């Protein structure tokens, strides 16, 4: 194919993976990655729990299920090749009472259909063999669910992008995309200047701002991003041995969010959480200055969206639960102690905060699967929630294949290899 001028918007793990894929796989391409912060992985990639999901929950045949299973194998191989910290620490999904058993069995059936390896059901005694301090009536054990250093993966992807001739521009915020004939005019701004540049192809992986950038390029206003904060607490070092891997509740399909769970991190720390509560800003991270944790426009845009109120009206019990954990650290910790009662609240401290870019439609329905829209010149990754980071290398395969197919320059995404049974 002829030389292609390509731009990728967003320096999280997905955007960096897409840029790297373009640079390595498309002959003669020039690739420019735009990131508005002064570093990569500054948003959701750098503020999540670091879990490598195995594919337990996702409807068989969905894009999430396919790309998660494919992504696990690609991510594990990449981490091993680059010496990135990762571990198959395993995960149990715990049913506390009889009312959760049918849902746990359904997860087991779904996970088997997705090709998740090594699954087994544990009774009360077997739970103690895997997680000696956890309690429950029954649990599903996924031994190949893991943890990883996602920012480290992003940095290594960036290194391979540069080695392939790609350029990374930090501190450049993309404010608009306009198609002009056969070109896409990209408008960007930095601390000292702004400018216009023409590209043949632009792929936007804008995360928390994906809906805004899509609207500015002529796409539909929906799905809309409604941001939810997720707070974590940290066990003190002397209590870290209470958790060997990951301890999760059984999801309740009536409610949109999972609830507090326990996660071991690659640095040895143990996280409790997250909860979920409407964010006062799309970038309301705890490691940001206080002035950057609140934004009137962001909040007004969320609460002014009719879909949000329809969502809220259907989820009052969940909202009450999440509000309780947001208002009271003891309530938050007590949620975790339902699964590991030996946790002593003394010494448990506030940890990091994440922000989830939750896509929602006008009816108030949460958009569950990955969503990719656009034209033969501009593609938008509109929704890539968990397991987006796990699936990042597979998403990159899929998106680049889709982009080239729309341009008549390569195979379509249906020709990307199906999810493999590689362990993870």
Q: Per residue in 12-29, pLDDT tens?
A: 999 999 999 999 999 999
Whether 103 and 231 share a structural domain: no
Tokens in use for 38? Answer: 């002064």
Question: Same domain, yes or no, for 328 and 251?
Answer: yes
CATH number at residue 360: 3.30.9
Q: Does the residue 280 lie in any domain?
A: yes
Together in a domain, 175 and 114: no
Assign residue 158 the CATH number of its domain. 3.50.50.60
66-99, pLDDT tens digit by residue? 999 999 999 999 999 999 999 999 999 999 999 9
271 and 337 share one domain: yes
Domain end position, chosen among 330, 348, 364: 364
Q: How confident is the model at residue 287 (pLDDT cuts 50, 70, 90)?
A: confident
Which of 143, 160, 185 represents a domain boundary (last residue)? 143
Is the pLDDT at 412 greater than 90? The verdict is no
Question: Could you tell me if residue 322 is inside a domain?
Answer: yes
Report yes or no on 172 lying in a domain.
yes
Q: Is 86 helix (H, G, I), strand (E, B) or coil?
A: strand
Q: How confident is the model at residue 224 (pLDDT cuts 50, 70, 90)?
A: very high
Q: Are residues 17 and 161 part of one domain? A: yes
Q: Which domain holds residue 219?
A: 5-46+151-223+369-415
Q: 214 and 205 in contact (C-beta within 8 Å)?
A: no
One domain for residues 219 and 230:
no
Lowest-pLDDT range of 49-58, 263-272, 348-357, 410-419: 410-419
pTM of the model: 0.94
Per the domain annotation, does 39 fall within a domain? yes
User: Are 332 and 232 in a shared domain?
Assistant: yes
Q: Please indicate, yes or no, if residue 355 is contained in any of the structural domains.
A: yes
Strands 30-35 and 5-9: parallel
Do 352 and 294 belong to one domain? yes
If you average pLDDT over residues 313-340, what whole number do you get? 91
Confidence of residue 413 (pLDDT cuts 50, 70, 90): low
Confidence category of residue 318, pLDDT binned at 50, 70, 90: confident
Name the token pair of 329: 């650290």
Please indicate, yes or no, if residue 122 is contained in any of the structural domains. Answer: yes
13 and 162 share a domain?
A: yes
User: Do 252 and 295 belong together in one domain?
Assistant: yes
β pairing state of 201-204 and 378-383:
parallel
What 3-state DSSP class applies to 298?
helix
Q: Is residue 51 part of a domain?
A: no
To the nearest 10 degrees (0 to 180), the angle between helices 306-314 and 316-327 is: 90
Question: 246 and 354 in one domain?
Answer: yes
Residues 270 and 351 in one domain: yes
The span from the CA of 52 to the CA of 74, in Å, is 11
Domain boundary among 349, 364, 379: 364
Flag whether 76 is in a domain.
Answer: no
The tally of domains found in the chain comes to: 3
């Amino acid at each position: 194919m002829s030389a292609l001028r390509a731009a990728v918007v967003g320096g999280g793990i997905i955007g960096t993976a897409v840029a790297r894929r373009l640079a390595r796989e498309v002959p003669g391409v020039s690739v420019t990655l735009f990131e508005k912060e002064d570093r990569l992985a500054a948003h959701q990639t750098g503020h999540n729990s670091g879990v490598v999901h195995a594919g337990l929950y996702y409807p068989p045949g969905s894009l999430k299920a396919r790309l998660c299973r494919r992504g696990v194998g690609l991510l594990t191989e990449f981490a091993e090749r680059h010496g990135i910290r990762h571990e198959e620490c395993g995960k149990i999904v715990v049913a506390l009472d009889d009312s959760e058993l049918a849902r746990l069995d359904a997860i087991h059936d779904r996970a088997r259909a997705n090709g998740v390896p090594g699954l087994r059901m544990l009774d009360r005694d077997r739970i103690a063999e895997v997680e000696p301090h956890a309690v429950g009536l029954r649990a599903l054990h996924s031994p190949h669910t893991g943890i990883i250093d996602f920012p480290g993966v992003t940095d290594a992807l960036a290194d391979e992008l540069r080695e392939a001739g790609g350029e990374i521009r930090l501190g450049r915020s993309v404010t608009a995309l306009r198609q002009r004939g056969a070109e896409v005019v990209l408008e960007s701004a930095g601390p000292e200047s702004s400018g216009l540049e023409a590209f043949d192809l632009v792929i936007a992986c804008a995360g928390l701002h994906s809906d805004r950038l899509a609207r500015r390029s002529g796409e539909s206003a929906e799905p809309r991003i409604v941001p939810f904060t997720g707070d974590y607490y940290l066990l003190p070092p002397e209590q870290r041995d209470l958790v060997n891997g990951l301890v999760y509740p059984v999801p309740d399909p009536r409610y949109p969010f999972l609830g507090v769970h326990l996660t071991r991190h690659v640095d040895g720390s143990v996280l409790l959480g997250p909860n979920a509560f409407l964010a006062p800003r799309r970038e309301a991270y705890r490691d940001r200055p206080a002035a950057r944790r609140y934004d009137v426009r962001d909040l007004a845009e969320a609460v002014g969206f009719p879909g949000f109120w329809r969502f809220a009206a259907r989820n009052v019990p969940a909202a009450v639960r999440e509000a309780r954990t947001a208002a009271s650290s003891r309530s938050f910790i007590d949620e975790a102690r339902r699964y590991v009662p030996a946790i002593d609240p003394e010494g448990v401290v506030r940890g990091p905060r994440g922000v989830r870019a939750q896509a929602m439609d006008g009816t108030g329905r949460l958009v569950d699967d990955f969503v990719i829209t656009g034209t033969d010149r501009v593609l938008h990754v509109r929704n890539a929630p968990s397991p987006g980071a796990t699936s990042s290398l597979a998403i990159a395969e899929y998106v680049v294949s889709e982009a080239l197919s729309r341009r008549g320059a390569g195979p379509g995404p249906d020709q990307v290899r199906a999810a493999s049974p590689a362990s993870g």
